[in-house]
């Protein structure tokens, strides 16, 4: 939030929001066609055909793309190339991002291919126009680069519709990410029809490169994908080196109500273990290009090393999120519990003042170990970043300790320096920086961050706070909420273009009413914060960016300690310890009133919750000091060390 225009104290129902990430995904992800999608530094990035601009959608979860706001990253003022803007392709070369696209002056026959370049290593830009690429004086569309034998090549479709014969796939070597060199080569390509060959994109397999392309008229229900491949070591500019695979590899599925699937892209799951295809399809067999929407699904590999894309899924089918997708649990702030791949993770301080780690393997086995030999104080916090697990803790002498686990490497530890008097919290920002916040000895907000190259920096955001703050990213912004010394709700924030690059703080009110540490999350265009009041009820404040207002409401309850809030899909959840020692659950779905349930059990500490597929798991300390999880009213003790009170 750049500035606070109004503080509105009223009881309201939250605006109804479309479903976002939860236990499963339902297509479509976007209402347009010709998608390109990638995962980078904790976020998915999607671009589609918009006609007069290049727009981008960003989300830490795949399903969240469906309701993420569009950011226009490029709009051209040149009238010779700012109309009929089609088919963006997003690629990263040498630490910069490039978007390849097709545009014209409004006359289809004048379509040519262009490329824009990012100013830095952020897929959201800013971008500037770089060049017209592979211009041979005739109609050209759907340009995409690919790498084979360590060298870049460019592929596109031409010479154009309305001429004799089908559109042709061409290849040419690239000398820079924005230019081609040498002669172009026509690549014969089968397609089951005498029409287009377009939208060719590459896919790396074991020892070879696949070129997957769309055939037939995009308005027909038989628009589909075909494939060629070339083995490593062979020259792609020699057409005979390519193998033509027989028949379509992805085509209409009448039984599922999917027609015209094509113009695809490929992306990896966040943990790098799965391959996914993104494409557009429509729900009608009529001849029309209207109604095409972006969909995504996982694919596998055959024993012979060729991809198996399966059949296009119906829009009613549910899709398990990609491996490593956070499923909107703690999105995207830090907590003592989080999900990494198929495993539930939890960190806490043991009675010996060590960092205890509990996790559940995919087969249900519960495990426990201790990270590092350093002593810690208070409660740790952490987050996942790709396939890595990160934990942060305060040492007894007030230093910030960073411990992290990497597959194949194990646990490592480093000291981020002195100046921490409270428990840490943090986030991963969109540029890959790891941020940690905590109360300094003088009551101000201390801030550490680590650059992607490992360099640790720090500053101080000022203010006067007590307890432990909560922090999360909101797009490219950083937001921290804390309890002031007057029991008010304090809001610290930073964004890339803030004046003088200095963080700011404003007051969300609630003077005298905040009697626990805050907890919260970002959701669509809203920021949400919850806390316990003096009489034990849960108060909820949220900022709506569409209306530029802060709203407040009371969810009721009778709690002690600090509650924990997260969302699971579009539903907001708060778990807390009741005055009776039981676990209480308050939640609200869009358009409904708040509901509450006593889940029983005995808690001797504040709970922490996570979303895991269709389930919500809550961690807490039991009466005997051991770790327990709650799944509804079922309480399961976890083996291993005790938790410090």
pLDDT at 18 over 70: no
The CA distance from 320 to 298, in Å, is 9
Q: What is the pLDDT of residues 58-79, one digit of tens each?
A: 987 898 788 788 999 999 999 9
Tell me which fold the domain 337-450+467-637 belongs to.
Methylamine Dehydrogenase; Chain H (2.130.10)
CA-CA distance, 34 to 88, in Å (whole number)?
Answer: 7
Compare 475 and 203 and report the one with higher pLDDT.
203
Residue 336 to residue 338: CA distance in whole angstroms: 7
State the burial class of residue 341 (Cβ atoms within 10 Å of its Cβ: 0-12, 13-18, 19+): middle
Q: Which of 187, 67, 77 is nearest to 129 (CA)?
A: 77
Q: Determine the pLDDT at residue 16.
A: 27
For the domain covering 36-308, report its CATH number: 2.115.10.20
- The three-point CA angle 171-173-177 to 5° equals 110
What are the domain boundaries of the chain?
Answer: 36-308, 337-450+467-637
- If phi over 0 gives left and psi between -120 and 50 gives alpha, with beta otherwise, what is residue 239? alpha
The answer to whether 212 and 197 are in contact (CB under 8 A) is no
Catalytic: 76? no
CA distance 50 to 101: 11
Spatial CB neighbours of 496, under 8 Å, sequence gap ≥ 6: 476
* pLDDT score at 318: 74
Q: What angle do CA 300, 256, 38 make, to 5 degrees?
A: 45
Active-site entry in 34, 117, 271, 477: 34
615-622 contact pairs (CB < 8 A, 24+): 615/23, 616/568, 616/573, 617/337, 617/344, 618/564, 618/575, 618/583, 619/336, 619/337, 619/346, 620/577, 620/583, 621/348, 621/645
How far apart CA 390 and CA 403 sit, in angstroms, is 6
How far is Cα 230 from Cα 239, in angstroms, rounded to an integer?
A: 10
Each residue of 522-545: pLDDT tens digit?
876 788 999 999 999 999 999 987
Spatial CA neighbour of 154 closest among 132, 126, 122 = 132
Dig out the tokens for 244 from the structure.
Answer: 């033509």
pLDDT at 312: 97
pLDDT reported for residue 24: 61
Please say if 198 is a catalytic residue: yes
Which one is catalytic: 198, 539, 553, 606?
A: 198
Contact status, residue 115 vs residue 98, Cβ threshold 8 Å: yes
Spatial distance between the Cα atoms of 51 and 81, rounded to a whole number of angstroms: 11
Distance, in Å, from the CA atom of 127 to the CA atom of 45, rounded to the nearest integer, reads 15
Task: For the chain, give the percent of residues with pLDDT over 70.
Answer: 92
Give me the chain's average pLDDT, please: 90
Which residue is associated with the tokens 């709009």? 75
Highest mean pLDDT: which of 252-256, 342-346, 381-385, 475-479?
Answer: 252-256
- For the ranges 48-57, 316-325, 428-437, the maximum mean pLDDT occurs at 48-57
Mean pLDDT of 561-572: 86
DSSP state string for 288-326: -STT-EEEEEEEEE-TTS-EE---PPPTTS-BPPPTT--
Question: Which phi and psi angles does 39 have, rounded to 5°?
Answer: -115, 130
Question: Do 36-308 and 337-450+467-637 agree at the fold level?
Answer: no
Q: What is the pTM (predicted TM-score) of this model? A: 0.60
Give bridge partners of residue 226 from the DSSP assignment. 213
Sheet with strand 70-74: strands edge to edge: 36-40, 43-47, 54-59, 70-74
């Amino acid at each position: 939030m750049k500035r606070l225009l109004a503080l509105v104290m009223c009881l309201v129902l939250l605006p109804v929001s479309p479903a976002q990430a939860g236990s499963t995904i339902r297509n479509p992800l976007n209402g347009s066609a010709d998608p390109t999608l990638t995962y980078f530094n904790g976020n998915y990035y999607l671009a589609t055909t918009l006609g007069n601009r290049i727009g981008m959608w960003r989300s830490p979860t795949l399903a969240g793309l469906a309701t993420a706001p569009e950011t226009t990253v490029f709009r051209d003022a040149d009238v010779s190339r700012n109309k009929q803007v089609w088919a963006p392709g997003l690629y990263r070369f040498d630490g910069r991002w490039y978007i390849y696209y097709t545009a014209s002056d409004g006359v289809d026959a004048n379509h040519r291919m262009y490329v824009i370049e990012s100013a830095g290593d952020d897929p959201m830009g800013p971008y500037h126009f770089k060049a017209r690429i592979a211009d041979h004086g005739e109609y050209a569309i759907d340009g995409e680069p690919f790498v084979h034998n360590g060298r870049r090549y460019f592929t596109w479709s031409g010479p154009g519709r309305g001429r004799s014969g089908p559109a042709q796939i061409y290849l040419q070597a690239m000398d820079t990410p924005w230019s081609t060199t040498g002669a172009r080569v026509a690549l014969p390509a089968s397609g089951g029809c005498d029409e287009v060959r377009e939208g060719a994109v590459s896919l790396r397999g074991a020892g070879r490169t696949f070129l997957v392309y769309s055939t037939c008229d995009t308005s027909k229900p038989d628009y589909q994908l075909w494939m060629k491949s070339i083995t490593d070591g062979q020259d792609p500019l020699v057409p005979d080196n390519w193998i033509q695979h027989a028949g379509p590899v992805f085509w209409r599925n009448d039984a599922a109500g999917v027609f015209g699937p094509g113009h695809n892209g490929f992306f990896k799951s966040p943990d790098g273990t799965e391959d996914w295809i993104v494409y557009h399809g429509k729900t009608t067999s009529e001849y029309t290009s209207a109604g095409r929407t972006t969909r995504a699904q996982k694919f596998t590999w055959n024993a012979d090393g060729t991809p198996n894309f399966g059949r296009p899924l119906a829009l009613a089918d549910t899709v398990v999120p990609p491996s490593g997708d956070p499923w909107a649990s703690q999105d995207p702030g830090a907590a003592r519990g989080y999900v990494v791949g198929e495993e539930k993770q939890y960190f806490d301080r043991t009675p010996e003042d060590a960092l205890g780690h509990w996790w559940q393997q995919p087969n249900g086995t519960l495990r426990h170990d201790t990270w590092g030999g350093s002593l810690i104080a208070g409660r740790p916090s952490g987050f996942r970043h790709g396939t890595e697990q990160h934990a942060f803790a305060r040492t007894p002498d007030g230093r910030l300790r960073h411990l992290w686990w990497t597959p194949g490497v194990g646990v490592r530890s480093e000291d981020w320096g002195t100046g921490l008097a409270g428990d840490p919290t943090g986030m991963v920002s969109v540029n890959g920086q790891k941020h940690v916040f905590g109360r300094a000895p003088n009551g101000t907000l201390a801030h550490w961050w680590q650059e992607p190259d490992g360099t640790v920096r720090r500053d101080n955001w000022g203010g006067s706070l007590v307890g432990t703050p909560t922090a999360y990213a909101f797009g490219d912004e950083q937001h921290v909420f804390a309890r002031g010394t007057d029991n008010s709700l304090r809001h610290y924030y930073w964004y890339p273009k803030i004046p003088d690059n200095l963080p700011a703080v404003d007051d969300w009110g609630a003077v005298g009413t905040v009697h626990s540490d805050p907890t919260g999350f970002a959701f669509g265009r809203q920021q949400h914060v919850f806390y316990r009041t003096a009489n034990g009820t849960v108060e909820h404040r949220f900022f709506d960016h569409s209306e530029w207002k802060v709203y407040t409401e009371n969810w009721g309850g009778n709690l002690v300690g600090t509650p924990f809030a997260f969302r699971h899909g579009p539903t907001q959840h708060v778990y807390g310890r009741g005055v009776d020692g039981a676990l209480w659950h308050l939640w609200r779905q869009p358009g409904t009133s708040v509901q509450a349930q006593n889940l029983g059990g005995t808690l001797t500490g504040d709970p922490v919750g996570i979303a895991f597929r269709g389930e919500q798991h809550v961690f807490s300390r039991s009466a005997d000091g051991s770790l327990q999880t709650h799944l509804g009213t079922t309480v399961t003790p976890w083996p291993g060390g005790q938790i410090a009170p």
